[in-house]
Structure 1
């Protein structure tokens, strides 16, 4: 398993979904019975069970809950630092575009000599912020189209909306 592993819900068979339900039921059953729950991991061998720390249990519970709902799951370390190229790749932008965003103060970073290092959590937060801004821009560009309306009038409305959005983007 790699540091970041995506679990795709489309690959779950009916048996996998039944197993997920059993695992989720097992993970949540102990909470109702014991005031101070303890969690164990048991393998296929004869070794003694290993007690899980509560943080590991809670993470497993969230993963199984999401998988049971048919959601994709990504497990990734949060204390990781990234190079500017890794951050650009994660964001889906070029490295020069990322450097421009860093220089404009849109994203925090630390210098290690001449190299820039970014916290993974900061990059993920920035990615989410960009995604919200993109959705807002798409919403701003959407225009109710009346199919009986004159096409030239609709195109004129779209042009006005694009200009307004461009003007808003330049003021940021």
Structure 2
């Protein structure tokens, strides 16, 4: 699917999500060429599909993993966009949970994502603090 088709499909899905009741757990989707049958999908699946289409529309690749998937340290480092030695440091300091399989570390995908969410919050707080400090210094 090219980026233009993905963007068009994303707009249609976002319109559908916006028009539907916000508390609806399921959506009926009519598929072109599918006859009179509707495809019934849970809201989370439709939202995930919209997220995937958004990434495709921006020309980004998409990979889907179960939350409980275990990653190698290199895969986890790639996901966080850090070096493998830096990731090992995070693991050894207990900032991300892992388990040993023989001599190899395995990191759960959801643990990596939890770390990333907390790290994003810390970064935003630091930027806000610097912005506030800059405003205070500028007022003098």
- The offset of 1:130, in angstroms, is 0.9
2:13 alignment partner in structure 1: 20
Local SS of the residue matching 1:116: strand
Q: Distance in 2 between matches of 1:28 and 1:111?
A: 46
Matched residue count? 126
| CA distance in structure 1 between the aligned counterparts of 2:83 and 2:27, rounded to whole angstroms | 47
Equivalent runs, 1:6-155 vs 2, <5 Å: 12-13=7-8, 17=11, 19-20=12-13, 24=16, 28=20, 42=31, 44=33, 56-63=41-48, 76-77=64-65, 78-142=67-131, 143-144=134-135, 145-146=137-138
TM-score where L is the length of structure 1: 0.53
Larger Rg: 1
Alpha-carbon shift at residue 72 of structure 1 (Å): 5.3
Structure 2 unmatched ranges of 5 or more:
57-61
Pairwise CA distance, 1:59: 2.4
- Partner of 2:88, secondary structure, is helix
CA RMSD across the alignment:
4.2
Q: Whole-Å Cα distance in 1 between the matches of residues 105 and 86 of structure 2?
A: 14
In structure 1, the gaps of 5 or more residues are 2-7, 150-172
